[in-house]
Amino acid sequence: MRAAVAFAGADVSAMTWFSLRLRLEPPQEHQHSDLGHSLALYFLAFGALLLVAVLLDDMAARVRVPGILMVLILGLLVDNHLTVASDAADALPPLLSLVHADQITQAALVLVLFFGGLTTNWAEMRSVIPSALRLASFGALFTALLITLAMLGFGLAEGSAGWVVLFPQALFVGAMLSSTDASATFALLRPLAGRLPKPVLDLIETESGFNDPVAVVLAGVAMALAGGEGVAPAALVTVVLRQFLLGILLGFLGGSLTTQVLGSRRSLNTNSMLPVVSLALLMVLAGGTTLMGGSALLAAYVAGLVLGNGSSTDQLVLAEAHSSFAKMAELLLFLCMGLVVSPEDVVRAAGGAFLLFLLMQVVRWLIVHFLLLRSSFSLGQRTFVCWAGLRGAVPIALAIQVWASSSVSWGKTMPPLALAVVLFGLLFQGFALVPIANRLGLASPLKAPLSAP
């Protein structure tokens, strides 16, 4: 029948042929049209959400509110289960599935960490690097350990399970909350721009960049313990070392190779080509490192560190381009978290999250004062650094990752917990940063405007 129509339609106009084709084709072939409508809906929905997120972030800067907070609230308020048909059988799947949310957040985290390494200037931050390394390595490890012990103690006191079952979950919570987010801190410190001691700000920024890979690897260990029954200690140590060493090695080699290529080919070191080449490097590096068993996030940070401190690239163009990539990645990451997490789950997790938030403040206070005791930072500066340990993108990405892992039974409880802790930090800890800086005498007085002669 279809062949007869094709031959008989030789003298028929294109519009007539199209209408005949729609009538004669089986109903199941209309799925292409349905897929087109679904794709159009996704473009419309995510384009609109991203646009609103950008506007909210800009408005947040004007009213001195962290953009993270407003974007997270936007994601929570949007219903992820949209229905565009009256028949329930024709209802669309969720706007954002958990698997897609995990993929988006992992890609976003690669962009964020690469930008973090790219903007870390060794020459300018050389004086604070020893202190930042202590906070990022020993500080992150001690934070994860103390939170793990506290969570394990609470779980054993309840008697819900044995320590073998509780330990991976407690370790994951400790790892998830061991990283800090400098961008959230700096967003809240805009009213004091140019008035705080530069070494303190450099310390906060450098610590935040260095402790993210530590948190990621520790979380991977917890997931391996939870997903594999009877994991041999030797195998676990091998996996951790492989992730660390391969991440560092491949990140260094990738960054060095790109620096050499850009230095020898000046045609690539232009405003239009430099962002493309560096982004291509990042994609190849992240994918290759993951396939080889290394940490793609650590490789991205090290590659950004090498590329950002090279002398053969235009650092201003590179930082400007990737600041846009990193900003879009952060907005998408927080939107994904808000979309896949139910507000009711966040409310239910609020009680435990608040206790965990208080525990984090005590742990942060002890660790910062202990590790910076013999440093050049004063007591007031160390106290301010204690308050500046806000949580942000990394806990959210790790929480979504463990939820998407089918081998971890308690993964579903992590995103509401992480989101509640981040929100508590922004509301209670974040808004106190400016008053505390003024109270400690760290903010220099405002310069009086010059009077006209």
Which residue, 68, 98, 93, 75, is CA-closest to 83? 93
Structure tokens at 150: 């506290």
Q: Under a CB-based contact definition with an 8 Å cutoff, are residues 430 and 184 in contact?
A: yes
Report the SS3 class of residue 43.
Answer: helix
Q: What angle, rounded to 10 degrees, do the helices at 315-340 and 31-63 form?
A: 110
CA distance linking residue 261 with residue 272, whole number of Å? 16
Helices 98-118 and 198-227 pack at an angle, to 10 degrees, of 140
Residue 225 has a pLDDT of 82
Give the separation between CA 400 and CA 274, rounded to whole angstroms.
32
Q: Please provide the distance, in angstroms rounded to a whole number, between the alpha carbons at the two ends of the chain.
A: 93
Are 394 and 212 contacting, i.e. CB atoms less than 8 angstroms apart?
A: yes
d(CA 129, CA 117): 13
In 10 A of CB 1, how many CB atoms? 6
Query: For residue 3, which amino acid is it?
Result: A
Q: What is the pLDDT of residue 338?
A: 81
Model pTM score: 0.79
How many whole angstroms separate alpha carbon 222 and alpha carbon 175? 8
Q: pLDDT (tens digit, 0 to 9) for every residue of the chain, 453 residues total?
A: 444 444 444 443 444 433 434 444 444 444 444 545 566 777 787 788 888 888 887 887 777 777 778 888 888 888 776 554 444 445 556 777 888 888 888 888 888 888 888 887 777 788 888 899 899 899 999 999 999 999 888 888 877 677 777 888 999 999 999 988 887 788 778 777 778 888 898 899 888 878 887 888 888 888 888 865 555 666 777 777 888 889 889 999 998 888 887 777 777 766 778 788 888 888 999 999 999 988 888 899 889 888 888 776 667 777 777 888 888 888 888 888 888 888 889 999 999 999 999 999 999 999 999 999 888 899 999 999 999 888 888 888 899 888 887 678 888 899 999 999 999 998 888 888 889 998 998 888 766 544 444
What is the pLDDT at residue 184?
Answer: 78
DSSP label of 325: H
Q: Which residue ranges form the domains of the chain, and what is each CATH number?
A: 98-439 (1.20.1530.20)
- Residues 289 and 34: their CA atoms lie apart, in Å, by 37
CA distance readout (Å), 355 to 147, 351, 397: 11, 7, 22
Cα separations (Å) of 183 from 115, 144, 207? 11, 21, 12
Closest CA to 218 of 32, 76, 394, 418: 394
Closest CA to 428 of 386, 390, 379: 390
Q: Tell me the helices (H) and strands (E) count for the chain, helix number first.
A: 19, 0
